[in-house]
């Protein structure tokens, strides 16, 4: 009899596991909506599958469905309050939700956000992401509700012990946020010289952008391309050129290379390349060429609202 039950149930169980495996692959491919469509009905019928529940929470979070994600991770924390990742993810989605509500309501959520991140850091002495979250949280909160540069530096120090590169990047972030550009640049450069990752280049180039130094930002991205040879960096160069109206020929050349070599691995949709080419030609006062590229962007994605706004500006050119 037991064998008969197993034979009846096995196809159902196997089908469920195949679906979960497919959902996991979809998450890896950043196809979050498709993963949700598989996981949501599965979790309703398999409420004890904690791994699938966490994947569903991740799918919601990546789609900015904060209420649904909060419900999932709150449930996971209740299931195992000693799991650092559950605490970290719960704090993360709560924090993102707080950015989308009124300031008064957000104030009521900050305590729970901080508690979740602190729990994650306490539970896992090597949890880098939780410490990064605390670095940013303590810097961004006003002092009256618990913000503290010294506490932010404390967690940057903990990061430094776990990963020297992360520690330097965190200190760069703190000093940039506190409007100490010389110290910020020092630490970003230390991180870059030690790590040399795309992230390190990205932090330094964005710093230069924020300091209104686009030529230095472009030079940094070019060094990143020389080392990592990523097509997305062509887009980043073109973006800076377009935004700051500098080195337009280089920007145009890089964007056309980005478009001709584009793939989903780039992480930037191709219509953004068209959008930036439209910006560059708008900067040149070339209305016809700008309209050509902005229309191409809109034909690729009709709901591209930034492109719609840019087209209105282009149409005003004489």
Residue 302: CB atoms within 10 Å: 8
Supply the angle between the helices 2-28 and 50-62 in degrees, to the nearest 10: 30
Length of the chain: 318
Q: Give me the percent of the chain exceeding a pLDDT of 90.
A: 80
Instruction: Enter the pTM of the model.
Output: 0.84
pLDDT band at residue 1 using 50, 70 and 90 as cut-offs:
very low
Domain that holds residue 245: 230-318
In this predicted structure, the answer to whether residue 131 has a pLDDT above a threshold of 90 is yes
The CATH number that applies at residue 194 is 1.25.40.10
Question: Is residue 309 included in any domain, yes or no?
Answer: yes
- Shared domain check, 157 and 249: no
Q: Given 177, 201, 228, which residue is the final one in a domain? A: 228
- My answer on whether 250 and 287 are in the same domain is yes
Measured between alpha carbons, how far is residue 58 from residues 41, 127, 130, 221 in Å? 15, 18, 16, 31
- Looking at the fold, whether 205 and 235 belong to one and the same domain comes out as no
Which residue, 65, 88, 44, 64, is CA-closest to 73?
88
The proportion of the chain whose per-residue pLDDT surpasses 70, expressed as a percent, equals: 94
- Of 227, 258, 230, which Cα lies nearest the Cα of 242? 258
- pLDDT value at 8 more than 50: no
Q: What is the 8-class DSSP label of residue 265? A: G
205-258 per-position pLDDT tens digit: 999 999 999 999 999 999 999 999 999 999 999 999 999 999 999 999 999 999
182, 272, 279, 282, 294 from 286: Cα distances, Å: 39, 19, 10, 6, 12
Tell me what pLDDT residue 6 has. 47
pLDDT for 12: 39
pLDDT at 168: 98
């Amino acid at each position: 009899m037991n064998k008969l039950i197993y034979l009846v149930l096995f196809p159902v169980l196997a089908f469920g596991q195949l679906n979960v495996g497919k959902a996991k692959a979809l998450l890896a491919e950043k196809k979050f909506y498709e993963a949700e469509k598989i996981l949501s009905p599965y979790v309703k019928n398999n409420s004890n599958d904690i791994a699938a529940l966490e994947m569903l929470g991740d799918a919601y979070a990546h789609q900015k469905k904060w209420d649904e994600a909060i419900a999932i991770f709150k449930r996971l924390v209740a299931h195992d309050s000693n799991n650092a990742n559950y605490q970290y993810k719960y704090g993360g989605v709560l924090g993102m939700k707080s950015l989308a509500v009124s300031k008064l309501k957000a104030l009521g959520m900050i305590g729970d956000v901080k508690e979740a991140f602190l729990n994650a850091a306490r539970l896992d002495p090597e949890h880098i992401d939780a410490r990064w979250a605390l670095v940013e949280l303590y810097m961004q909160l006003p002092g009256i509700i618990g913000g503290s540069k010294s506490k932010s530096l404390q967690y940057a120090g903990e990061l430094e012990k776990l990963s020297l590169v992360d520690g330097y990047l965190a200190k760069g972030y703190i000093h940039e946020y506190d409007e100490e550009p010389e110290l910020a640049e020092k630490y970003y450069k230390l991180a870059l010289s030690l790590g040399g990752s795309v992230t390190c280049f990205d932090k330094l180039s964005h710093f230069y952008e924020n300091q209104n130094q686009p030529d230095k930002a472009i030079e940094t991205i070019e060094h990143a391309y020389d080392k990592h040879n990523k097509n997305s960096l062509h887009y980043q160069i073109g973006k800076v050129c377009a935004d700051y109206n500098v080195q337009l020929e280089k920007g145009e050349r890089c964007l056309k290379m980005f478009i001709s070599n584009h793939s989903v691995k780039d992480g930037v949709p191709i219509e953004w390349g068209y959008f930036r080419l439209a910006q560059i030609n708008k900067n040149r006062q070339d209305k016809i060429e700008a309209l050509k590229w902005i229309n191409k962007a809109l034909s690729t994605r009709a709901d591209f609202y930034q492109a719609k706004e840019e087209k209105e500006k282009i149409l005003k050119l004489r």
